[in-house]
Each structure stands twice: as C-alpha cells, then as structure tokens.
Structure 1
Amino acid sequence: MYGITFNGKHSLKDMGLYVESKTINAPSKKKITDSVPFMHGFYDFSTVGSNGEQVYDTRTITVTLRIIAYSMEELHTVYSQALEWLMDSGKQKLQFDFMPDFYFTSEVQDAPDWDKFLKYGLLTVDFVCDPFKYSNSYMGDDIWDTFNFLTDYTQYTNTFEINETGPGTTVVMYNNGRLITPVINVSVDNMRLNFEGKTYYLTKGDNKLWGMKLKNGENVLHFYNALGTVKILFRWESL
C-alpha cells in the first residue's frame, strides 16, 4: 500500500487513506489557429508569443483512495476530514510515494463523490495540475538516492567565484529538463551576464531574468564586470 502527500499531509499516515488506483494524464498542447478562405489547412500561431516554445494546458490526475471503516460514524468522520484536507486550500504540492524525486502543483476544484465513498469506501479525487512535474531538489544537489542515470547530470551549482572584472568567468550549466528560467543570486551589484549573445545586468541578491531560459543540455554563461560570487538555482521540469 502507498499513499500521496498533499496540502502538508500524507493520505495513509495522516488520513488512513491508501491509493487504490491512479491515472496521470498528459497535458494537451495549447493551440491557437486560424484559417482564411480558399487556403489549405490553417495558420498555427501557438508559439508566436512564446518565442517558439510549445505551451501546454493543465493536466488532470485522478486518484482513487480507499478506507477500511468499521462503522458508519467513522465513514462520515473520515469523509469530512478528507474534504477539509483536499478542498480547503488553493494550489499545493502533490507527491506520490512511488515518485519521490518529483511533485506536481495541484488543486482539487470539485468535491469527491460521497455516494461511492459511502457504498464502497472509495474516494475518487480529480487533481487539476500544472502541465509539468517539478524536481524536489535543485539541479546539482548531491542527492545520490534520487539520481537518475538516464537523465541527470553531475555538476556543481552552489557557488561560483567571479575573480576577474575584465575577462570574467565562464560557467557551464547543464539542464536535463525543459526550458527554464533560473534564479541567479549574486553577492554584489553591477555584475553582468552574457548568455547567447545577450547582456543582462544583475543586482545584488536574487535575479530572475525575463526572457533568459536555459535550454536542455549544455548552457554557457559568462559573468564579468565585478568581483563576487554567483549561485544558479533551478528545479528541472518534465512532462
């Protein structure tokens, strides 16, 4: 038996509900199309505003939870507690026991079916989720137990010393997920970053740069103009 963690509680350990079944649906592409008379097919504008990046709609994850209750009173009590746990919040982390390295950002919008719970001890819950799942750890964290030999990279991301104000320091970052905007933390003002031909001006503290995204695979970042330290923080995303 295994459970899920949602809204700060574990279904089995805290609520007495274990996962009977699950369906993790894939998200659909967001398509923006138009056609004109006498043309074959249609024009696809889906990636015009996203600079060529495919965008996706939400995904639905359906989980059926089961309880073994010994009385009708217990059944009513658990159902009421489950409603508060599932419904009394906005978006929360949803994590499955069998998938310890990733979580979904989810919300329960519709109350689970009471009739099925009453008759069979089953609670069917629809989680409306962001399209991607997110890694629990930051890229480069040294967590050997969740290392995936098919997709992960071993790399150092904690603190880079920028020792020269002239030539600066080149940092190579690997991203094993989708396009992602990292948080770049610098220790001083007036640090500059050159990435793929564009110059970004960094201020002391956390910087999240609009339009600057790390692609899948190798990314070369060049820091210069100030002495200090740089940290690059991001969680990878996956369908």
Structure 2
Amino acid sequence: MNEVFFDGMASFGDWGLYLTSLTIDAPKPKEIYVEIPNGDGALDLTEALTGEVHYESRPFEAVFAIKPETYSVDLERWLIGYLNGKQRTIRTKEEPGYYLVGRCATSLKNDGVLAVLTVKATCKPWKYKNDVTAINMTIGASGTLTINLTNERKRVIPTITASAAVTVVFNGQTISVNAGTQRLTNIALSYGDNVMTITGAESTTVLFEYQEGAL
C-alpha cells in the first residue's frame, strides 16, 4: 500500500487512510533579473551574491480517502490536531532514502459517503537524506591521504572531528584544522566530487559529517 509518513506516523498503517493523489513539485529557483536600459535583454544576478542558486519553498500535496468504516469524528479531530499547522518530517515510499521538512495545512470534506482529507505542506526546498553522511579515516605512515567527499545538490559545511591537528588542502587553499570538532566556512562541499588532501601525524583520525540535500 502506497502511503505517506509524517514524523514516522504512517497514513495507512496507523490511520487507515488511502492515498489517492500525491504531488511533490520541484522548488522554483529564485531568479533575479535587472533590465538594462537601452540594451537587449536583462542582467542575470541570480548567482551574483553567493555564487549559487537559491530556491523557493517546495509545494507538497497529498489527498487521502477515508472509508466509512474507518472514519470517525475522533479520528478527524486527531488528524487535524496532529497535522494542521505543525511542522513535520515527510517521507514517501517512492523515495524511502529521503525526507522533506514542511509545515502542514489540512482540509477535510465529508459527503456522508466518503471523507477526503487533503494535506498540503510548505516544505524546505531540499530532499534531505535520511542519514547524515559520515566519512571516517586514519592517516597512515606517509602522513598524507587524499579523499573525495561526494555531495548532493545542496552546498554544505561539514563538521570535522580530528584527533590531532591536521592541514587540509581544498580548492587551492591550505587550511589548518585543530584537534577537536569544528565547522570551517572555507571547507564547504559543493555538488558532486570534493577532493582534498589531508596531512598530519600517523594514526590521526579525521571524521567528516554532513547532511546531504537533493533537489
């Protein structure tokens, strides 16, 4: 049975709702254009400020049928109380490895034969991976290792935990990383491959953790 999960609650397994329609639109890019007087077209400033594209909220809509033998006033009241106005993590069976984060709004129509519950949500643009990506490594006798941290579409600054001080060469920069846990703005992972070289004492451990977000 196809269903939707709101903070782990299953629309069919827990509530007996039949999913009849599911729409998850792609987020719209925030495009910025400035018209050029006495010139052709417009100046595209979409990526001018940060060097990347930003997105509007992602629309979500799920429509559920509630059979007469399942429907009750208590169920209706509980569903509205649980969903309406609440921010929930939303998962679907089509993409079990990802989740959305959105604030829900509900409406329910009951014609006496069939009740229909519509759940709309204004979601953050990104489909987040269920699990935080964690890459742990140990520097060998050479004192140097090269790694590739692959990342989804959302630019992200990883959390770095090092057992001792190391240096990281990334995007042409040499960056000092102290022992302990930190996030450094000059180590930001972009879409795809992110190759870096780490130098430090033998047996030093370095852990990278980051939350990937896809479109």
- Give TM-score, length-normalised by structure 1: 0.77
- Sequence identity (%): 26
1:17 corresponds to 2:17: yes
Structure 1: give runs of 5+ residues left out of the alignment. 141-156
What residue identity is the alignment partner of 2:64? L
1:160 corresponds to 2:159: no
What residue identity is the alignment partner of 2:156? I
Change (3 A) 1:180 1:186: same
Matches of 1:49 and 1:193, distance apart in 2:
27
Between Structure 1 and Structure 2, how many residues are aligned? 212
Residue 124 of structure 1: how far off its partner (Å):
0.9
Structure 2 counterpart SS, 1:82: helix
| Residues 61 and 121 in structure 2, CA contact (< 8 A), matched pair in contact too | yes
Residue 37 of structure 1: how far off its partner (Å):
2.2
What residue identity is the alignment partner of 1:56? Y
Structure 2 counterpart SS, 1:213: coil
Matches of 1:163 and 1:117, distance apart in 2:
67
| Residues 160 and 209 in structure 2, CA contact (< 8 A), matched pair in contact too | yes
Residue in structure 1 matched with residue 29 of structure 2 by the alignment: 29
Residue in structure 2 matched with residue 98 of structure 1 by the alignment: 94
Change (3 A) 1:83 1:33: same
1:214 corresponds to 2:185: no
1:77 corresponds to 2:74: yes
Residue 81 of structure 1: how far off its partner (Å):
0.7
Change (3 A) 1:7 1:88: farther
| Residues 170 and 220 in structure 1, CA contact (< 8 A), matched pair in contact too | no
Matches of 1:201 and 1:5, distance apart in 2:
43
What residue identity is the alignment partner of 2:172? G
Residue in structure 2 matched with residue 198 of structure 1 by the alignment: 173
Structure 2 counterpart SS, 1:13: coil
Residue 135 of structure 1: how far off its partner (Å):
1.6
Residue in structure 1 matched with residue 163 of structure 2 by the alignment: 187
Matches of 1:63 and 1:76, distance apart in 2:
20
Superposition map of 1:213-232 within 5 A: 213-226=188-201, 228-232=204-208
Matches of 2:195 and 2:21, distance apart in 1:
44
Residue in structure 2 matched with residue 145 of structure 1 by the alignment: none
Residue 177 of structure 1: how far off its partner (Å):
1.9
Structure 2 counterpart SS, 1:85: helix
Structure 2 counterpart SS, 1:79: helix
Change (3 A) 1:215 1:78: same
Residue in structure 2 matched with residue 177 of structure 1 by the alignment: 152
Residue in structure 2 matched with residue 148 of structure 1 by the alignment: none
Structure 2 counterpart SS, 1:49: coil
Change (3 A) 1:46 1:87: same
Structure 2: give runs of 5+ residues left out of the alignment. none
| Residues 192 and 199 in structure 1, CA contact (< 8 A), matched pair in contact too | yes
